[in-house]
């Protein structure tokens, strides 16, 4: 399991870069047909001024959902947690 504390900065510049590295490691291990990825996005960490800033790009909520859908199409992602900022009341 590859994890990172919620309050730490990412060691990768781009999410796809990190996922590509994970996929390469999975393929090299010989387990590519047996592994699926779960993401905990912790969206509160990159929510700024009403939008989401990720991979040097500003996303609206709808744009971010499209980005997540693209990730699911490209990578063996089973689940995504904390996709968006939780509503604060």
pLDDT digits (tens, 9 = 90+) for 19-74: 999 999 988 988 777 788 999 988 988 999 999 998 889 999 999 999 999 999 99
Domain residue ranges of the chain, discontinuous segments joined by +: 15-81
Q: How confident is the model at residue 9 (pLDDT cuts 50, 70, 90)?
A: low
- Res. 10 pLDDT band, cuts 50 70 90: low
Is pLDDT above 70 for 89?
no
Q: Taking a C-beta distance cutoff of 8 angstroms, is the pair 80, 39 a contact? A: yes
If one counts every other C-beta atom within 10 angstroms of the C-beta of residue 59, the result is 18
Tally of CB atoms within 10 A around 74: 12
Residues ≥6 apart with Cβ < 8 Å to 58: 51, 52
Q: Which residue has the higher pLDDT, 11 or 35?
A: 35
């Amino acid at each position: 399991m590859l994890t990172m504390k919620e309050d730490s900065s990412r060691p990768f510049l781009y999410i796809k870069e990190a996922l590509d590295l994970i996929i390469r490691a999975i393929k090299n291990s010989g387990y590519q047909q047996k592994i699926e990825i779960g993401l905990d996005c912790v969206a509160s960490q990159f929510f700024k001024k009403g939008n989401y800033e990720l991979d040097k790009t500003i996303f609206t909520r709808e744009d971010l959902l499209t980005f997540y859908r693209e990730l699911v199409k490209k990578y063996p992602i089973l689940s995504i947690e904390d996709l968006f900022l939780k509503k604060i009341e």
